Structure 1
Amino acid sequence: MNERARPGTHGHASGPYTGPALLGIYLNDHLAGATAGAERARYLVRTCGDSALGAAVAPVAAEIAEDRATLIRVMRRLGVPVRQYKVYAGRVAERVGRLKTNGRLLHRSPLSTLLELEALRLGVQGKQAGWRTLRHLADTDDRLDARQLDGLLERARRQTDTLEELRLQQVRTVFPDAGD
């Protein structure tokens, strides 16, 4: 009996949204997130300028952009078309996220940097989950390179660690008296 999985169940879905179609939706959703993340990382580097924070974030931003390009290559290898409207939605979401004033109207708030670091860290954790999913699929799909995915997972772990260190530094900048 072919039964569509109901929300909250662990059954297998059938019908038009199975297997390859679901993978295409999943990867395009990750691409939208990767687009937003790459845009946010570039924006953070620009707003930090020549500061130590800007210098520390720049290599992570470059890797995030590289990871986005890698995701597109993986999608091509899997025969998953890029849905441009999702890429566009990722860009729009990132720009809308900049509108929050964080207590200041005319000048950038140090709280903005803290929140952007937190958003980037969460984005990298989401990317890491996507790589883990693909790594799981690599066990049965020879179009996926397990070693490459292992490397991407390790890089995402390092990015998470770096962003967490930078986030904690920014916490101390924004809330210097919190520990007293």
Structure 2
Amino acid sequence: MHRDKLGIYLNDHLAGATFGIGLAKRIAHQHRHSARSTDLQRIADEIAQDRQSLLEVMDTLGVPARHYKIYGGWTAERLGRLKPNGALYRRSGLSTLIELEALRLGVEGKSLIWRTLLVVAAEEPRLDESQLHNLLDRARGQIETLEALRLTATAAVFSPAARSTTPDNA
């Protein structure tokens, strides 16, 4: 096993997971009174659990967490809040759509780390293949939920009928 490369890879995903937690929590908070709140809060909680699972895998393999990468993920999430959304003083439906797409991309990336670790597990007995399969299955479920939410947000933003009835609820 290429220990140094695996350490870099795991820490890069740890930075992404740090970004993902901030984004998922923010989306869940912003939509806490909507019909989507339960799904969004569940995904935010699961992403936090998945990040913890990644830290445990790293610990099992003796890979130290690189704090500068964690801070980089945290900073990137904060900077992502500054993007223009077509509305000056409030959120727009476009913000929700872009954030859901970013979160879905992050979960897609997370599914890839579990797939990669399943390959590594073939040569690394310290890794629990059953746990990795469970994490991969959970990521797939999150992707399905996020896609359904994304499609709903897409319709709310770009459908003329939806725009006339729910301009800010995307």
TM-score range, shorter chain: over 0.9
Aligned letter for 1:152? L
Superposition map of 1:160-171 within 5 A: 160-171=143-154
CA distance in 1 between counterparts of 2:150 and 2:11 reads: 28
Equivalent residues of 1:101, 1:109 under 8 A apart: no
2:60 to 77, 91, 108: 77
Indicate yes or no: 2:18 matched with 1:35: yes
How much has 1:36 moved relative to structure 2?
A: 0.2
1:57 matched residue in structure 2: 40
CA distance in 1 between counterparts of 2:88 and 2:123 reads: 53
CA distance in 1 between counterparts of 2:160 and 2:88 reads: 24
2:165 matched residue in structure 1: none
Tell me which stretches of 4 or more aligned residues in structure 1 moved more than 3 Å: none
Number of matched residues? Answer: 162
> Which entry has the higher C-alpha Rg, 1 or 2?
1
SS at match of 2:87: coil
Aligned letter for 1:161? E
CA RMSD in angstroms, aligned pairs only: 1.4
Q: CA-to-partner distance for each residue in 1:21-44, whole Å, 9 max, x for gaps?
A: 111000000000000001100010
**If the length of structure 2 is used for normalisation, what is the TM-score?**
0.92
1:147 to 123, 130, 133: 130
Greater RCO, CA 8 A, separation 6+ = 2
2:167 matched residue in structure 1: none
1:86 to 61, 64, 69: 69
Aligned letter for 1:61? A
Superposition map of 1:95-134 within 5 A: 95-134=78-117
Of Structure 1 and Structure 2, the greater helix share is in 2
Equivalent residues of 1:102, 1:112 under 8 A apart: yes
Q: CA-to-partner distance for each residue in 1:57-105, whole Å, 9 max, x for gaps?
A: 1101100110000000000000000000100000000111110121012
SS at match of 2:8: helix
What runs of 5+ residues in structure 2 fail to find an aligned partner? Answer: 162-170
Indicate yes or no: 2:101 matched with 1:137: no
Aligned letter for 2:37? G
How much has 1:175 moved relative to structure 2?
A: 1.1
1:66 to 39, 49, 52: 49
